[in-house]
Amino acid sequence: MSDPWRPATSPLAETPEAPQDLTATVPRQLVHRASVAETFLTGVTSTDTHQFTVFAEWPRAHQLHVSSDRSAYEPLLVAETVRQAGALLAHTAYEVPLGHQFVLRELAITTYPGQLALGATPAEPVLHLTVTDIDHRGGRPAGFRYAADVRLDGARVATAHLAVTWTDAAVYHRLRGGRTAASVSALPAPPGLPPAVVDRALPADVVLSPTGHSDRWRLRVDTAHAVFFDHPLDHVPGMLLLEAARQAVRARTRNGRRTPVSFHAVFHRYTELDLPAWIETVDRPGADGADVQVVGRQGKSTVFECVVGTVDG
């Protein structure tokens, strides 16, 4: 059966294509960022129906996305880059208007740490994306899944699968019961774990607060954080929850020094700013016995679940 929707071709011409000599990032609004410094994409081309090549640049220094010893890129930089790629395609190739609200439903990413070492210049990864399972409402796309093959100098550094949906501002306002970034006040951020425990250099980057249990923490949300809250939000962003999963694995006393390299997260509902949330971990033996199940809870609800794969290190 043929797909009733074909991606548009003209909007792609309005964004930078494959960079000859890097000159600029794509417009930051297209990847839902307020800061140019947090915009990692530099161009996009269409290679076939629902297939695209997206170009990016990764900085050699970053508050969150470069390891504390400045030797390697963090896996969650790959996740953020792939997330931005989905937003870019939705706006440029599938005619989703700016101002629509996006929801990350699922993210699965596997990275290859040996390929993520910092070089002498900023890395310029290339993402090969395939869009599938387009959800149509009223004859227009309302969400899709996409797969990404992320390569650096021809070598695969990661693979990813994501599912996102979107809705216009009026529908989103009704879904959220009128909650907005202006009307919701976040709870005061409690004291965090020592930064070294979660492999962070700065106390401001710690997103877990101790509870006295080695496998349970309170989520620490600081809406002044310049990366997680690049712009005002009415809920906790998915990337902060992924960082909480990463830090939970690092903080587990019986986990030893395991390094997170893969994440498979499902987001069940919004994590609210004005209610306490809790992060818990349990062992989940994988193929090599190195998986950890991270669960986020708020009230009586499970807000997200994430299986984190680790390696020694």
Per DSSP, the three-state class of 258 is strand
Look at residue 100 and tell me whether its pLDDT is greater than 50. yes
Specify the CATH superfamily of domain 10-174. Answer: Hotdog Thioesterase (3.10.129.10)
What does the DSSP assignment read for 5-30?
----SGGGGGS--S-SS---PPPGGG
pLDDT of residue 252: 86
Residue with the bigger pLDDT between 252 and 294: it is: 294
Mean pLDDT, residues 116-132 taken together: 95
For the chain, give every domain's residue range.
10-174, 181-312
**Which of 45, 39, 132 is CA-nearest to residue 77?**
39
pLDDT of residue 144: 98
Hey, do 10-174 and 181-312 end up sharing a CATH topology, with the first three levels equal?
A: yes
| pLDDT at residue number 23 | 58
Q: Closest by alpha carbon to 25, among 10, 13, 37?
A: 37
Beta bridge partners of 264: 108, 307
Q: What is the pLDDT of residue 260?
A: 93
Q: What is the pLDDT of residue 290?
A: 75
- Give me the chain's average pLDDT, please: 90
Of 89, 142, 103, the closest CA to residue 266 belongs to 103
Q: Name 161's Cβ contacts closer than 8 Å, sequence gap at least 6.
A: 106, 107, 108, 109, 145, 146, 147, 148
Which residue's structure tokens are 């809920």? 235
Confidence of residue 97 (pLDDT cuts 50, 70, 90): very high
The count of other CB atoms within 10 Å of the CB of residue 313 is: 10
* pLDDT at residue 139 in the model: 82
136 pLDDT higher than 60:
yes
- For 199-230, write each residue's pLDDT tens digit: 999 999 999 999 999 899 999 999 999 999 99
Per-residue pLDDT tens digits for 170-208? 999 999 998 999 999 999 999 999 999 999 999 999 999
What integer is the mean pLDDT of 289-299? 90
Tell me the longest C-alpha to C-alpha distance in the chain.
57
- Torsion of the alpha carbons at 209, 210, 211 and 214, rounded to the nearest 10: 130
Q: For residues 48 and 284, what is the distance between their CA atoms, to the nearest angstrom?
A: 39
Q: What is the pTM of this model?
A: 0.91
Contact 197, 253 (CB under 8 A): no
User: What would the pLDDT profile of 296-308 be if each residue is shown by its tens digit?
Assistant: 999 999 999 999 9
Q: How confident is the model at residue 18 (pLDDT cuts 50, 70, 90)?
A: very low
pLDDT of 16 reads 52
Other C-beta atoms lying within 10 Å of the C-beta of residue 153:
11
| DSSP tag of 32 | T
Cα atoms in the Cβ-side hemisphere of radius 13 Å centred on 33: 23
Strands (E), the chain: 41-48, 51-56, 101-111, 126-137, 140-152, 155-167, 208-213, 216-219, 258-267, 278-283, 291-298, 301-312
pLDDT of residue 24: 84
Contact 271, 235 (CB under 8 A): yes
Instruction: Report the range of poorest mean pLDDT among 74-78, 160-164, 247-251, 285-289.
Output: 285-289
Count CB atoms within 10 A of the CB of residue 55. Answer: 22
In percent, the amount of the chain with pLDDT more than 70 equals 90
Classify domain 181-312 at the CATH class level.
Answer: alpha beta
* pLDDT at position 28 over 70: yes
- Give tens-digit pLDDT for 236-269: 999 999 999 999 999 986 556 788 999 999 999 9
**276 Cβ contact list (under 8 Å, min separation 6):** 187, 218, 219, 298
Identify the weakest region by mean pLDDT among 14-18, 111-115, 128-132, 262-266. 14-18
Q: Give the C-alpha separation, 109 to 262, whole Å.
A: 5
